[in-house]
Amino acid sequence: MKTFFAKFVGSCAGLGFFPFAPGTVTSVVAAVFFAAVPAFQQLEIAVSAVGVVFVVGLWSAGVMEEIYGRDPSQVTIDEVAGQWIALLLLPVGWLPVVMGFAAFRFFDILKPEPVNFAQKLPGGWGVMVDDLLAGVYANLSVRIVLWLLSFFPATAPL
């Protein structure tokens, strides 16, 4: 029962077993879910949700590492936590969501330091913490780009 629950939760109800790019698929679902649920615009709710996903992810990733080896691709709950951090308190709208998704995938794949270092932490910690840091990088990057875009008028005369 423990193994079943860990696989179910850690793979985000099976998304981690998607045959192609399970992390990206899970990030898309997480971004759409975040954008579709208005409650995530409230800091307390969003941070609490990330905290719950993080704690459950620590446990399930640890169990799944025992089954599949170090940082298995089947574990995608880390993408949910990281993606939600990437979107945390960004302006409402499709552009920030798409930018947050793209930036999160970029940093999660590229793994600049200390993201790469965090991935080497033992057990579920390495699986979860690297995505949290990638989410922070993504969130800050999107904020900078949106700030820079704010200097350009929405409509320019032809």
Q: Contact at 8 Å (CB) between 36 and 30?
A: no
Distance CA 59, CA 80 (A): 15
| Predicted confidence (pLDDT) at residue 23 exceeds the cutoff of 90 | yes
Number of H helices, E strands in the chain: 7, 0
| Predicted confidence (pLDDT) at residue 64 exceeds the cutoff of 90 | yes
Ramachandran region, residue 75 (left: φ > 0; alpha: ψ -120 to 50; beta: rest): beta
| The pLDDT of residue 153 | 74
Mean pLDDT within 28-52? 96
* Block residue for tokens 């990030």: 27
Mean pLDDT within 115-141? 95
